[in-house]
Structure 1
Amino acid sequence: MRSFVLSAALLLAGIGSAQAQDAAAGEKVFAQCRACHQVGESAKNAVGPVLNGLFGRHSGSIEGYNYSPANKNSGITWDEATFKEYIQNPRAKIPGTKMVYAGLKDEQRINDLVAYLKQFDASGKKTQ
């Protein structure tokens, strides 16, 4: 019985660590986002808006970026769950968005991307 409990505990621990977020791995995932988005203290709006301070921010609210009406009027406040749903299929989450990205489907890569983006506050400074 003791070995069964130990095996179950190890299995659950392995499942939990498989879903852990890795900011360093997320930086590699962000490489594909870099074609349109920037983060960091010198970040500027490009094809897409700056992603500094993304979590907790209202969609369509970065000064100086020309958002689609769909994005501006979505009523979304970005949190992990909303972003994860969005990044899997942006046009399904916000029909009419200008974002042409087909979506990131791999859950671990999404988790890592979230960890990477969460490091940057609204000014672009790394907080973690």
Structure 2
Amino acid sequence: MKRIDLINQIINRKEQLGITVENLAKLSGVGVRTINRLLKNEDVKLSTIEHVTNFLGLDFAGNEQIPVNELKKQRAHEKALFLASIVQGTSALEMQGLEDDSLNRIIATYEKEFLDGEYKNTLWVA
């Protein structure tokens, strides 16, 4: 695969996910200017390409390793766990930590909201 083909795969995956350059940079641990240089097919370190492709579920050749739907589910789960941990942490401070069943229902509700609900547009916000 040529480098330009890899860049096109990265751009395509970015668009499939609906992720902005800024959020792609934050979530992949790469600077915004570096992401912009990568997307313009300018010179960047191989480690940068690796960080971005790994985050986007692609291998180093641009082949899909993780399907888009699975990436979305993983991200929704990560965000749901984060929000649930805030709820659990606050409840624990008040000595009223949630039971496992309640916590799992909260996580499932958050996941659904990130995938199909009101917060769908915030799935890839860092």
Range class of TM-score, shorter chain: under 0.3
TM-score by length of 1: 0.25
TM-score by length of 2: 0.26
Task: Identify the structure with bigger relative contact order (alpha carbons < 8 Å, sequence gap 6+).
Answer: 1
- In terms of fraction of residues, the more helix-rich structure is 2
